[in-house]
Amino acid sequence: MPWRLLRFALSQKHPEPRMFATHDSLKSSYDVVIIGAGGHGLAAAYYLARDHGITNVCVLEKGYIGGGNTGRNTTIIRSNYLTPEGVKFYDESVRLWQDLAQDFDLNLFYSNRGHFTLAHTDAAMRTSRWRAEVNKHYGVESEVVDAAFVKQAVPMIDISCGGHAPILGGLYHAPGAVARHDAVAWGYGRGADMRGVEIHQRTEVLGIDVAGGKLTGVQTSRGRIATNKVLCAVAGSTPRILKMIDVRTPIYIHPLQAMVSEPVKPWLDPILVSGSLHIYISQSARGELVMGASLDPYEVHSTRSTLDFVEGLAAHMLDMFPFLSNVKVMRQWAGMADMTPDFAPIMGKTPVEGFYLDAGWGTWGFKATPVCGKTMSWTVANDRDHELITGFTLDRFRDFALTGEKGAASVGH
Ligand code: FAD
Ligand code: PYC
C-alpha cells in the first residue's frame, strides 16, 4: 500500500489538505455574491480574486460544486461558430484553455482531438462552407472536407450510414478538444479558495432584496447577506432566480440527455457530430464512448433520463457504427439546458443595478467557462459590459438584434 494512503488512513486528523476550506457560517456582508458553484460561477470568483483583487466574495451553491450542468456535460470544446461575435468569444476561450492546467497545477485531461460536423445533405454542406468562411476570416482553423477525408480520419465509420443518410463531407475544426469537467470546477474552486473567496455548498438562494431598483442583499437558506453586487450563474435555474427580481428573459428549459458506453479499446480519435442524425460521439481517455443527442422536445424542469432517448440515440449511432451493436450502455443522465431563441448566451448587466447575469448557456456553455469567468469578473468589477460580450446582452431581444448561432449549436434543433 502506498505510504501516503496508509498515513492518511491511520491519521485521525486527516493531514491531507482538502481542496476547499469549509466555512461554518456566512458573513453578514460581501462585496460580491455569486449564485451557483458551477464552472461559470467559480471561474468568475477565481478571476475576480486573481485579476481584480476582489476577494471579499462568496459563492453560494444549493447542492455541491459542479453538480449542475458542469458535471453533466459531454465536454466538447471548439470555436467553430457562425457569427463574428460567437467566433471571437469562443476563440478567446479556446486560447484560455491552453494555460489552464498550468494555472491550476491540476491535470484537466485536456485532449485536442479535432472536431467534425458531418453533412449528409447539400444544405448541411452549404452551412459547413458558411461556417468555414466565417471561421477563417477570424483566424479560426476550420475547413470543408469530403467523405474520403472523414473515412480516413475514422476508418470504422460506415460512410453510407446503412444507405439511409450517406455522409457527403462536413466541417473539420482541428482545435476541437475535450477535457475533464469535474477537474475544471475543482481547479477554479481551489484557485478561488486559495485567494480568499468563500465557497458555501448546500446554501440555497431563496430571495433577492432590491430597493429603488438597486440590489441590496440576498436571502439564503442560512440567513441574509447584505451586498450590492450579485452575479447569477445558475444555468437551468435561471428563470427561478430571475422571478425573484421580476426580470424577464426568453429563456426556456429543456432537458438534455447523454450516455456513456462501457470502456472499449481506443478506436475513435476525433469528435463527431451529425446534425442530420441529431447525434454526437467522442471517446474518453478511459475508452468510454460519450454520446448525446438533441434536446428533449418539451419544456420540463427535471433531470430524469428516459429509455426513449437511449433507443433513439442508439438507433442512429448504429447507422454510422453498426459494429457497436453489442457494446453496453453503462449510464445515462440529463441536465437542464437554459435555451435562448437564438442559441447564444445572455450575459452582462440587467435592469436591476448591481445584478449581473451569466445565463442562456443551454447546450454549449462548458467550452466557454474560462472566457465567461474572465469577461463576467471584468463586468462585475467595472460595472460595465466587457467588449467581448456586447453581442450577448439581454437588450438584444428588446431590440430584435439577435445573435443567431443555431446553425453552429451541434445539438438542440
Ligand atoms: P451549472 O454547472 O449548472 O451550475 C449552476 C449551479 O447553480 C448548479 O450547481 C446549481 O445547483 C446552482 N444553483 C441553482 N439554483 C441555485 C440557488 N437558488 N441557490 C444556490 N445555487 C443554485 N457545453 C459545451 O460547451 N460542450 C458540451 O459538450 C456540452 N455538452 C452538454 C451535455 C449535456 C448532457 C448538458 C446537460 C449540457 C452540455 N453542455 C455542453 C452545456 C454546459 O454543460 C453548460 O452550459 C455549462 O456547464 C453551464 O455551466 P454553469 O456553471 O453556468 O452552470
Ligand atoms: O457545444 O459542442 C457543443 C455540444 C456538443 C454537445 C453538446 N454541446
DSSP annotation string for 36-76:
--SHHHHHHHHHHHHHH----EEEE-SS-TTTTGGGTS--E
**What single letter denotes the amino acid at residue 147?**
A
What is the average pLDDT value for the chain, to the nearest integer?
A: 95
pLDDT at residue 411 in the model? 75
- Residues in contact with ligand 1 (CB, 6 Å cut-off): 35-41, 60-63, 67-70, 72-76, 204-205, 233-235, 237, 241, 256, 258, 292, 335, 337, 361, 363-367
The yes-or-no verdict on residue 403 having pLDDT over 80 is yes
Residue linked to cell 471548439: 78
179 grid coordinates: 477535457
133 or 22: which leads in pLDDT: 133
User: Whose atoms come closest to the Cα of 59: which ligand?
Assistant: 1
Say if ligand 2 is within 6 A of residue 363 CB.
Answer: yes
**What single letter denotes the amino acid at residue 311?**
E
CB-based contacts of 243-249 (< 8 A; 24+ apart in sequence): 244/205, 244/207, 244/208, 245/208, 245/210, 245/215, 245/350, 245/352, 245/355, 247/350, 247/351, 247/352, 247/355, 247/394, 249/340, 249/346, 249/357, 249/359, 249/360, 249/394, 249/397
In contact, 178 and 111? CB cutoff 8 Å: yes
How much distance in Å is there from the Cα of 362 to the middle of ligand 1? Answer: 8
Query: 208-241 pLDDT, tens per residue?
Result: 999 999 999 999 999 999 999 999 999 999 999 9
Domains delineated in the chain? 23-73+182-250+342-408 (3.50.50.60), 113-177+252-339 (3.30.9.10)
356 closest CA partner among 54, 18, 24: 54
Residue 119 is given by DSSP the state E
The yes-or-no verdict on residue 412 having pLDDT over 70 is no
> Cβ–Cβ contacts within 10 Å for residue 353, how many?
14
Say if ligand 2 is within 6 A of residue 81 CB.
Answer: no
The yes-or-no verdict on residue 184 having pLDDT over 80 is yes
Instruction: Give the nearest ligand 1 atom to 359 CA.
Output: 52
Q: Average the pLDDT over 179-200 and give the result.
A: 97
Please measure the distance between the N-terminal and C-terminal CA atoms of the chain and give it in whole angstroms: 51
pLDDT at residue 17 in the model? 62
Query: 77-109 pLDDT, tens per residue?
Result: 999 999 999 999 999 999 999 999 999 999 999
Instruction: Give the nearest ligand 1 atom to 372 CA.
Output: 52
pLDDT at residue 322 in the model? 97
CA contacts within 13 A on the Cβ side of 148: 0
Q: Average the pLDDT over 389-398 and give the result.
A: 97
pLDDT at residue 14 in the model? 61
pLDDT at residue 1 in the model? 62
276 vs 132: CA distance, rounded Å: 18
How much distance in Å is there from the Cα of 237 to the middle of ligand 1? Answer: 9
Instruction: Give the nearest ligand 1 atom to 63 CA.
Output: 11
pLDDT at residue 10 in the model? 76
104 closest CA partner among 17, 196, 186, 204: 186
The yes-or-no verdict on residue 9 having pLDDT over 90 is no
pLDDT at residue 413 in the model? 56
The yes-or-no verdict on residue 133 having pLDDT over 60 is yes
Burial class (CB in 10 A: 0-12, 13-18, 19+), 54: buried
The yes-or-no verdict on residue 166 having pLDDT over 60 is yes
Instruction: Give the nearest ligand 2 atom to 366 CA.
Output: 1
Radius of gyration of the chain, Cα coordinates, nearest whole angstrom? 22
The predicted model scores a pTM of: 0.96
Say if ligand 2 is within 6 A of residue 410 CB.
Answer: yes
In contact, 320 and 158? CB cutoff 8 Å: yes
Q: Residue 13: which pLDDT band, with cuts at 50, 70 and 90?
A: low
Query: Atom 7, ligand 2: which residue's CA is nearest?
Result: 363
